A and B are shown apart, each in its own frame.
Chain A
Amino acid sequence: MKKVVALLLALSMTLSLFGCGSTGTTSDSTTETTETTENSTGDTGTEDATTSEVWSDQAGAGEVCGDENGKYTIGVVIHTTTDFLCSKYKAYSDYLGKAYGVRFSYYIIENFADETYLSAIENLCAQGVDAIITTNFSGTAVLQGLKTCEQNGVYLAVGWSQIDESIWDQVFSSEYFVGSSYESDYDAGYEIITSLIDAGSTNIAAIGYEPGITCHDRRWEGMMAAFEDHPEVNKAGEYRGLEFTKAVEDFLAADNTIDGIGITLLGIEYCSEPIKSAGREGEVRIAFCDFSENCQQSLESGETVCAIGGQYVDLAFSFVLLYNALEGTPLDKVEVPVNFIVCKTGDEFADYMTYLHDDGVYAWTTDEIDQLIVSKNSEASSDTLLEMGANYSIEDTIARHGE
């Protein structure tokens, strides 16, 4: 009896780990928010739509978008598809997928452990995808993932993360690696601190995601460099971990002269309530990476002095590199640095929303992407991708798409 019970328990534990592994198909969704706000309470008109979107497209594989009957299937390994950033990422993939006959199959991961990524890649390969985009895939595990792709004849692109220098040559020499793209995370980290300093903060607490994810590591390095370059500013303390809200509370309790918090992710969500709870509203400024729909209000109120984001466009680079490879006309392998969008005022964020993020609006339209597809433009090259990444900004988008 005990053996049976132990077996059942082991099974339930295993299922809880792989509970995300089914392959249902759900319709595309574009959820808009990462945060529960009072505002949502009054909006009964959109309630049903929101309900179905949030509950239907959650964890695990089985989130499909783009062209349902597309000639290629690209698997995307990502941590969510429902927050402000990732829902737009998914919407962009839907837009591109429908235009180019590509089916996107999202594989949601619960954490960023190497084994989670490797398991995701193995599962996607087993499902028979033609190519994979891994987001935030860091460290030397990329080589292991690439090996699995090679064994299965699947192309791999890495997004939102810079390839580790120590394995760069090996990765780029692989037949099945098409290239990667990453954001200027170091500069973003630097900007977070300098914008707080420019806003008048003199005692700043630094908070970051726990070490191990390249993009967050780079942001942290940038933040630390800014502190070194500004010795006149006091670093109230540093925290790298997973309990961000508690870290903010602890900092505010330990030092009531803190007037700035720099955080590598989702600043409003993690900092706003603890600041209010400590009775320091209006006294503590925040700066961070990752936009959310609350940025508008927070930037206008002055609580947020700098919000950095707009990295959903990363998809375009992975897509172009993979699509050309799948068509048999690969571009030169390239690692594309992509600008962040930096917003320091409510107006700037409003522009971002209008020209880059609102429903149906994307940084590069299919007409522009066509110029990067060799089968449609024989002169397409990776250099254009590099230019796109370097020029990416609100102004550039307005110039291309018009007011």
Chain B
Amino acid sequence: MKITSTNLKNALKVILLPVFVYVLFFVCSGGNFGKPSSIVMNLKQTLTPTLISYAMCCNMLCDRMDLSAGAVVMLSAMFGAKMVYLYGIGLVPFALLVVATGLVLGTVSGIMYMVLKVPAIVTALGVCMVYETLSNLASISWVTAISGEITTLGRFPWCLIIFAVMFVLFYIIFNHTKFGYHVRACASSQQIAKSAGVDTKKTAFMCYVVSALFLGVAALLKISIQGSIDTPMYMSSTNIIFNCMLGIYVGLALEPYCNLLIGIFVGNFILNMLTTGLLSLGLSASLQDTASGIFLLIIMIFTYNNQRVLDFINSRKQKQELVEAHK
């Protein structure tokens, strides 16, 4: 009974965060923000970043920053679109090709990390630049686009079904497999995990392989939903992953109250609501990034510190009760 009550309280706390953001923007925009169609749009926009967050999650927990993730997504999507253009491949081969490309590219990143033995962020930067150049080679113009039936997987309910399958898959991998336990052991301390018999190198490589699979599916969803993929320039592929990283941070902040996967989804959903919310307030694009950053900081400060505030209030309450009891 107590467990159910705690779970309910935690679920409420998790739901409270997006509800708070929704209400805030709904009120501030005078009702312009938050129409059902907008929320559905937000939901759709959340799917790809959440998958990218899942892909990056294992590596990030183990202190490995894979900056090449965005480039993997863009290059896989662009390669698939290019194959449609060149050879007129159908939907199924297109989907398989994009996912397979993501899998190969992501695994190559992992192999590079394992072989080179230099910090993950350095390897990732090099790989990112190589992949961006390959994207430039594969692109047709500023943008490579697909349309018509080939974008079917980006429409409801297909995009939701794909996301749900990947969510369940990641849930099982992360929570109910030996690999998942090893990742969490490494996340706590690589040294202790190693001493306890965890093969940290194998775990690191598997993190990249799992990440690659999710990046491939994310690429498929991204190009299917958006219908186009930009040619990356100026390391612009990293833009994709920074927002996803923020989603992971929000997820980690919510971890005491819910499963990390749900937290990451909620984090990405909030970030999307933030963007559209700020737009509905009429904020210019340049100010949106600043406002998003500040708003996110507030959420993080609140989420990370609310327990401390509650503890402080409780301890004062207890002190007062003790003082009154002694009187």
Residues of A within 8 A of B (CB): 2, 5-6, 8-9, 12-13, 16-17, 19-20, 31, 33-38, 40-44, 47, 50-51, 54-55, 58-59, 79-80, 82-84, 86, 110-113, 237-247, 249-256, 265-266, 269-270, 272-274, 276-279
Closest to B81 in A: A36
Residues of B within 8 A of A (CB): 32-33, 35, 37-38, 41-42, 44-45, 81-82, 84-90, 116-118, 122-123, 125-126, 129-130, 132-133, 136-151, 154-155, 225-228, 230, 233-234, 236, 239, 272, 275-277, 279-280, 282, 284-286
The answer to whether B140 touches A33, judged by C-beta atoms less than 8 angstroms apart, is: yes
Residues of B within 8 A of A19 (CB): 133, 137
Closest to A17 in B: B129
Assess A16 versus B118: contact at CB under 8 Å? Given A40-B84, A272-B227: no
Assess A277 versus B86: contact at CB under 8 Å? Given A9-B122, A13-B129, A54-B140: no
The answer to whether B41 touches A2, judged by C-beta atoms less than 8 angstroms apart, is: no
The answer to whether A255 touches B85, judged by C-beta atoms less than 8 angstroms apart, is: no
The answer to whether A43 touches B226, judged by C-beta atoms less than 8 angstroms apart, is: no
Residues of B within 8 A of A112 (CB): 233
Assess A54 versus B86: contact at CB under 8 Å? Given A12-B130, A17-B133, A269-B143: yes
- In the assembly, what is the distance between CA of A47 and CA of B144, in Å? 18
The answer to whether B141 touches A254, judged by C-beta atoms less than 8 angstroms apart, is: no
The answer to whether B45 touches A35, judged by C-beta atoms less than 8 angstroms apart, is: no
- A–B complex contacts, Cβ < 8 Å, 7 sampled: A35-B146, A47-B88, A58-B136, A83-B142, A237-B284, A242-B233, A246-B226
Assess A111 versus B234: contact at CB under 8 Å? Given A12-B126, A272-B227: yes
Shortest beta-carbon contacts, A-B, top 3: A273-B227, A41-B88, A83-B141
Closest to B38 in A: A253
Q: Which of B35, B117, B123, B146 is in CB contact (< 8 Å) with A36? A: B146
Q: Which of B44, B147, B285 is in CB contact (< 8 Å) with A238? A: B285
The answer to whether A272 touches B147, judged by C-beta atoms less than 8 angstroms apart, is: yes
- In the assembly, what is the distance between CA of A62 and CA of B99, in Å? 32
The smallest C-beta distance from A211 to any residue of chain B, in angstroms, reads 9
Most chain-B Cβ atoms within 10 A of its Cβ — which of A20, A249, A277? Answer: A277
Q: Which of B125, B141, B272 is in CB contact (< 8 Å) with A13? A: B125
Residues of A within 8 A of B239 (CB): 242-243
The answer to whether B137 touches A58, judged by C-beta atoms less than 8 angstroms apart, is: yes
Assess A34 versus B145: contact at CB under 8 Å? Given A17-B129, A41-B88: yes
The answer to whether B280 touches A254, judged by C-beta atoms less than 8 angstroms apart, is: yes
The smallest C-beta distance from B34 to any residue of chain A, in angstroms, reads 10
Residues of B within 8 A of A238 (CB): 284-285
Most chain-A Cβ atoms within 10 A of its Cβ — which of B37, B140, B154, B225? Answer: B140
The answer to whether B280 touches A266, judged by C-beta atoms less than 8 angstroms apart, is: no
Closest to A34 in B: B141
The answer to whether B230 touches A244, judged by C-beta atoms less than 8 angstroms apart, is: yes
Q: Which of A40, A256, A270 is in CB contact (< 8 Å) with B228? A: A270
- In the assembly, what is the distance between CA of A37 and CA of B228, in Å? 11
Residues of A within 8 A of B144 (CB): 35-36
- In the assembly, what is the distance between CA of A17 and CA of B90, in Å? 34
The answer to whether A273 touches B228, judged by C-beta atoms less than 8 angstroms apart, is: yes
The answer to whether B38 touches A273, judged by C-beta atoms less than 8 angstroms apart, is: no
The answer to whether A256 touches B236, judged by C-beta atoms less than 8 angstroms apart, is: no
Residues of A within 8 A of B154 (CB): 273, 277
- 13 more CB-based (< 8 A) A-B contacts, given A9-B126, A19-B133, A47-B88: A36-B84, A43-B88, A47-B87, A59-B133, A80-B139, A83-B141, A110-B233, A242-B234, A246-B45, A252-B41, A265-B142, A269-B143, A277-B226
- In the assembly, what is the distance between CA of A113 and CA of B230, in Å? 17
Closest to A257 in B: B32
Residues of A within 8 A of B129 (CB): 13, 16-17
Q: Which of B33, B122, B286 is in CB contact (< 8 Å) with A254? A: B33
Residues of B within 8 A of A110 (CB): 132-133, 136, 233
The smallest C-beta distance from A65 to any residue of chain B, in angstroms, reads 18
The answer to whether A243 touches B230, judged by C-beta atoms less than 8 angstroms apart, is: yes
The answer to whether A35 touches B236, judged by C-beta atoms less than 8 angstroms apart, is: no
Residues of B within 8 A of A273 (CB): 145, 147, 151, 154, 225-228
Residues of B within 8 A of A242 (CB): 230, 233-234, 236, 239
The answer to whether A256 touches B148, judged by C-beta atoms less than 8 angstroms apart, is: no
The smallest C-beta distance from A272 to any residue of chain B, in angstroms, reads 7
- In the assembly, what is the distance between CA of A43 and CA of B88, in Å? 8
The answer to whether B233 touches A266, judged by C-beta atoms less than 8 angstroms apart, is: no
Residues of B within 8 A of A86 (CB): 141
- In the assembly, what is the distance between CA of A243 and CA of B142, in Å? 11
Residues of A within 8 A of B90 (CB): 41
The answer to whether A245 touches B148, judged by C-beta atoms less than 8 angstroms apart, is: no
- In the assembly, what is the distance between CA of A252 and CA of B40, in Å? 11
Assess A266 versus B143: contact at CB under 8 Å? Given A12-B130, A38-B150: yes
- In the assembly, what is the distance between CA of A272 and CA of B145, in Å? 10
- In the assembly, what is the distance between CA of A240 and CA of B284, in Å? 9
Residues of A within 8 A of B275 (CB): 250, 254
The answer to whether B140 touches A255, judged by C-beta atoms less than 8 angstroms apart, is: no
The smallest C-beta distance from B48 to any residue of chain A, in angstroms, reads 10
The answer to whether B141 touches A266, judged by C-beta atoms less than 8 angstroms apart, is: yes
The answer to whether A237 touches B227, judged by C-beta atoms less than 8 angstroms apart, is: no
The answer to whether A277 touches B284, judged by C-beta atoms less than 8 angstroms apart, is: no
Closest to B146 in A: A36
The answer to whether B143 touches A44, judged by C-beta atoms less than 8 angstroms apart, is: no
Closest to B32 in A: A255
Closest to A18 in B: B133
Q: Which of A6, A50, A83, A254 is in CB contact (< 8 Å) with B276? A: A254
Most chain-B Cβ atoms within 10 A of its Cβ — which of A58, A112, A113, A237? Answer: A237
